[in-house]
Chain A
Amino acid sequence: MRGILGSRLFWGVLGLLLIAILLPLGVSGYILGVLIPAYYFAVFAMSWDLLFGFAGEVNFGPTFLVGLGAYGAGILDAETGWPIAVCVVFGTAMAIIGGVLLALPALRLSGPYFGLITLVAVLLLQQMVTVFAHWTGGEIGLTVPDVLSIDDNTNYYFALGFMAISGLILFGLSRSSAGLILQACGQDPVEAQALGFNVAKHKLAAFCVSAFFSGLAGALLVFYYGTASPGTVIDLAVGVQVIIAAVLGGRRTILGAILGAVFLVCAGEVLRPLGQLSTFVVSAFALVVILFVPAGFLGTLLHRRSEA
């Protein structure tokens, strides 16, 4: 049963990936320009899902990690002009360090308290960006001298490749024994502890992995846009979008987060003619999905198939 389910998922993913690879042959640069940020966004959502779906920790501040990665890389590049790769590594390291500093004491807390700490971390980071405006560019944002590439196709394949590899690693991790232990820690920490697993260590590791991918994606996104601003990488609204994407796609599926993220970004783009109301429509749709199909897109698909 599991084999069939796994292989169906496998073929589905392969098909979608093939479509995504062939897409640049048939569509305009405009569509690619919409999809590139969506792919980075998908990585944010997947790393959030690892933390929430498996470790059972509600992280209200995915953008704390994303923002650290983005600003870490952006500021280093703007100040020193070092190669992009070095800046990205630095940004990712910043995100992991920040993540550990946040998680170490915060993991002693649980439920809403943990959520709140992560929420406050985002607010503090946003304030810091404003306070240290001469480095960060404040509310307007930071302009980065280097970009990954100015060619749409290169950017597109880079983003797609990055998303595919991150997805593969995160999905593999979630299905490995470490992922199962993590899930056990999330669902019943007492029992997991009784079985001899170190709950805190596993959760901390999950946080680090989540921070690694969020920070890396954030740093790369900066070099795609050429700018970093609180509105694109830190603001609570961005964090909310990440959470909605993961829940829409289906919790505990990792790959569902990709569907959710691409859907959310594309829906925002399609509804652009509605102006201000587009956010309203997207939120309403997400609310309806949560109320009536709480398992999300991929969760529902997999569930139906396993019943059949």
Chain B
Amino acid sequence: MLALQVLIDGFAISALYGLGAVGFTLMFGVSGVLNLAHGGTMLVAAVVAWLAADTVGALGGAAAGLAAGMATAFATYFLVVRPIQRSRSIPREETEIFVLTGTLLWGIMIQEAVAYFTTTSPHTVRPLIAGVTEIAGVRTPTNEILTAVLCWATIGALWLLVNKTKAGKALLAASINPRGLTLLGYELSNIHLLVWAIYGVLAGVAGVLLGAFLGVSSDNAGTLTASAFSIVVLGGLGSVSGSLVAAYCVGYLETITSYLISPAYRNIPSLILLVAVVYLRPQGLLGRR
């Protein structure tokens, strides 16, 4: 009974973690940017969905949250990342650390602004479906099932986009050999724009679902970024399938720990696993190097 409960809860949590991490890893793979405002983007999507749900209903709220996630992603790109990448006074080899510091500061600004307007107390987005479903004797909120389904649907859509459409294939090519792609006549900045748009959708969906499933507060924007970052590194930077595998490892480890030991220690085993993997296999589980 307990085992089944762990299996179900772990599956939903892991799907959510996976979705949260996929956008982050895709961004790194294609444009080499580690966006430390990732938690902030998810936070904005969740909080906007929460606010809008009061006036336009749960579905409208979710749509508004998605739009807000995209808007935040574009703001991050145009206000922070692109100016740093194009700056002449920043040496090329130091762009990476400047992007890290810049997005970090931007994430803090988002977090503080959200805290100012909606306080630091946790908000729970109204779930899209209410009610409880019984799976083999385990009472599971229907929303939890919907969360897992939507996460996988989004990831599936991403897979189709990347592997089956022309724009998606260009995206894949940009992550393998950007110079080769420009030689074929593609404008690299358009590709970057596309990847930020996809990133916005992924982070927006993840934020709204997270807000409906676990609730968010402005205080945990940093934690959200850190857990996405850890999952991505565990799976291998830039590898989407690696991130999904890693998300399931972390999700199940956390669920097992909180059911069997105590919710207070839920982070510890996954952090130790991360340290061990990074020491023994720095490229991550499925990373290529």
Indicate the size class of the contact surface on chain B.
35 or more
Nearest residue, chain B, Cβ from A278: B112
A-B pairs under 8 A by CB, number: 99
Q: In the complex, what distance in Å separates the CA atom of A77 from the CA atom of B39?
A: 39
Contact between B87 and A116, CB atoms less than 8 A apart: no
User: Does A231 count as interface, using CB distance less than 8 angstroms?
Assistant: no
Q: In the complex, what distance in Å separates the CA atom of A295 from the CA atom of B87?
A: 12
Contact between A290 and B98, CB atoms less than 8 A apart: yes
Cβ contacts under 8 Å, A187 to chain B: 93
Nearest residue, chain A, Cβ from B117: A276
Contact between A113 and B282, CB atoms less than 8 A apart: yes
Contact between B278 and A116, CB atoms less than 8 A apart: yes
Contact between A276 and B115, CB atoms less than 8 A apart: yes
Cβ contacts under 8 Å, A131 to chain B: 265, 268
Q: In the complex, what distance in Å separates the CA atom of A215 from the CA atom of B234?
A: 29
Contact between B83 and A291, CB atoms less than 8 A apart: yes
Given A240-B104, A280-B109, A287:B80 Cβ within 8 A:
yes
Contact between A240 and B108, CB atoms less than 8 A apart: yes
Pick out which of these stretches binds chain B: A1-9, A33-41, A118-126, A150-158.
A118-126
Q: In the complex, what distance in Å separates the CA atom of A111 from the CA atom of B146?
A: 39
- How many chain A residues have a CB neighbour from B under 8 Å? 40
In whole Å, how far is B75's beta carbon from the nearest beta carbon of chain A? 12
Name the contact of A109 in the complex, choosing from B83, B97, B282 (C-beta under 8 A).
B282
Name the contact of A291 in the complex, choosing from B84, B104, B108 (C-beta under 8 A).
B84
Contact between B116 and A277, CB atoms less than 8 A apart: yes
Given A116-B233, A127-B268, A294-B98, A284:B109 Cβ within 8 A:
yes
In whole Å, how far is B126's beta carbon from the nearest beta carbon of chain A? 26
B:23-67 near A, CB below 8 Å:
34
User: Does B102 count as interface, using CB distance less than 8 angstroms?
Assistant: yes
Cβ contacts under 8 Å, A240 to chain B: 104, 108
Contact between A283 and B101, CB atoms less than 8 A apart: no
Nearest residue, chain A, Cβ from B104: A240
In whole Å, how far is B112's beta carbon from the nearest beta carbon of chain A? 4
- Give the one of A240, A279, A290 with max B CB within 10 A: A290
Given A108-B282, A120-B271, A287-B80, A247:B109 Cβ within 8 A:
no
Contact between B105 and A244, CB atoms less than 8 A apart: yes
Cβ contacts under 8 Å, B102 to chain A: 287, 290-291
In whole Å, how far is B5's beta carbon from the nearest beta carbon of chain A? 25
- Give the one of A108, A120, A286 with max B CB within 10 A: A120
User: Does A243 count as interface, using CB distance less than 8 angstroms?
Assistant: yes
In whole Å, how far is B11's beta carbon from the nearest beta carbon of chain A? 25
Given A123-B226, A279-B108, A283-B109, A113:B233 Cβ within 8 A:
yes
Cβ contacts under 8 Å, A247 to chain B: 101
Contact between B112 and A276, CB atoms less than 8 A apart: yes
In whole Å, how far is B219's beta carbon from the nearest beta carbon of chain A? 10
Name the contact of A236 in the complex, choosing from B97, B106, B226, B267 (C-beta under 8 A).
B226
- Give the one of A187, A279, A283, A293 with max B CB within 10 A: A283
Instruction: Sort A-B residue pairs by CB-CB distance and give the 3 closest, nearest first.
Output: A280-B112, A287-B105, A283-B108
Interface residues of A (CB under 8 A from B): 52, 58, 105-106, 108-109, 111-113, 115-117, 119-121, 123-124, 127, 130-131, 187, 236-237, 240, 243-244, 247, 276-277, 279-280, 283-284, 286-287, 290-291, 293-295
Given A127-B267, A287-B102, output 11 extra A-B contacts at Cβ < 8 Å: A58-B100, A109-B278, A116-B229, A237-B222, A243-B104, A276-B115, A280-B109, A280-B112, A287-B105, A290-B102, A294-B90
